[in-house]
């Protein structure tokens, strides 16, 4: 009788433990998802800003059609890549970052444009959006690291295996272009 009770208690404890670990994994996975959607929001905002920026700059930068076209193209590539997987999207977005960086370098040669009130406020929005993208990415990678560590380590890995929790992908800057390109500086 007593051994029966002990057995039931032990099973109950194990069950609670397993449920706790499972819930922990779910919570972490949701945090990863949430962090990813943050990146998406910021990338979308960046896509929305660029047409305005190009439109404002057009009037001042008549001789820089290549730069403007490059940034427009990079934007449309990035828009197309939305939802096509982490690696793909990261690549398109870092190309866009590179194009924006080059554009900002060129802007230095146009003092009139730099004095334009509309452009100034767009510039602040763009700087901030660039920051937000990288902070969101930073946060996403932090979350992925925590989640992946949990999925890999004993004893949660058993639960993760049983319920098919897969490691999440890091948002990495594959393209060396962004590293080479000067940072967006104002």
Partner 1 sequence: MWEAIRSNKRKSFWLIVLMALVLAALGAAIGSYLFTQNPEDGIFVGVLVAMIVWIIMLAVSFSSGDRILLATAGAREIKHDDAPQLYNIVEEMKIASGLPKMPRVFIIDNSVPNAFAVGIKPDRAAVAVTTGLMSRLNRDELQGVIAHEIAHISNRDTYFMTLAGVTVGAVIILADLFIRGMFYSSLSRGRRSSRDSGQLQLIIMVISIIVAILAPILTQLLYFACSRQREYLADAGSAQFTRYPAGLASALEKISQNQSENFTKSRTLAPMYIVNPLAATGKSNNLFSTHPSTEDRIRILRGMTSGSSLKAYEKAYQGIHGGSGILGKSTLQDSKDQGIRSAQTDKHEAKKSMRDVKDILHKAAGYGLLTCSCGVKMKIPKETDYSKVKCPRCGTVHGVPMEFLSAAAIAMSQKK
Interacting residues toward partner 1 by CB under 8 A: 31, 35, 38, 42, 120-121, 124-125, 127-128, 131-132, 135-136, 138-139, 142-143, 145-146, 149, 183, 185-186
What is the closest distance, in whole angstroms, from the C-beta atom of residue 42 to partner 1 in the complex?
Answer: 7
- Residue 164 makes CB contacts below 8 A (sequence gap 6+) with none
- Rank residues 47 and 132 by Cβ distance to partner 1 and give the closer one: 132
Closest CA to 133 of 67, 44, 49: 44
- Rank residues 24 and 59 by Cβ distance to partner 1 and give the closer one: 24
- Rank residues 58 and 183 by Cβ distance to partner 1 and give the closer one: 183
- Rank residues 28 and 160 by Cβ distance to partner 1 and give the closer one: 28
What is the closest distance, in whole angstroms, from the C-beta atom of residue 135 to partner 1 in the complex?
Answer: 4
- Rank residues 10 and 20 by Cβ distance to partner 1 and give the closer one: 20
What is the closest distance, in whole angstroms, from the C-beta atom of residue 49 to partner 1 in the complex?
Answer: 12
What is the closest distance, in whole angstroms, from the C-beta atom of residue 184 to partner 1 in the complex?
Answer: 8
What is the closest distance, in whole angstroms, from the C-beta atom of residue 139 to partner 1 in the complex?
Answer: 5
Give dist(CA 109, CA 101) in Å, integer.
Answer: 14
């Amino acid at each position: 009788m007593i051994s029966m009770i002990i057995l039931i208690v032990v099973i109950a404890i194990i069950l609670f433990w397993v449920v706790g670990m499972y819930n922990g994994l779910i919570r972490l996975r949701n945090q990863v998802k949430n962090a990813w959607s943050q990146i998406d929001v910021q990338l979308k905002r960046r896509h929305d800003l660029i047409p305005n920026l190009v439109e404002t700059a057009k009037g001042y930068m008549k001789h820089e059609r290549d730069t403007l076209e490059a940034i427009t193209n990079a934007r449309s590539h990035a828009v197309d890549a939305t939802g096509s997987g982490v690696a793909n999207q990261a690549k398109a977005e870092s190309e866009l970052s590179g194009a924006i960086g080059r554009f900002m370098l060129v802007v230095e040669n146009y003092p009139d444009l730099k004095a334009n009130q509309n452009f100034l406020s767009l510039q602040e929005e763009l700087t901030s959006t660039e920051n937000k993208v990288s902070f969101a990415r930073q946060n996403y990678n932090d979350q992925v690291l925590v989640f992946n560590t949990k999925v890999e380590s004993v004893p949660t890995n058993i639960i993760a295996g049983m319920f098919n929790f897969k490691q999440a992908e890091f948002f990495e800057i594959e393209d060396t272009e962004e590293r080479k390109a000067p940072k967006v500086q104002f």
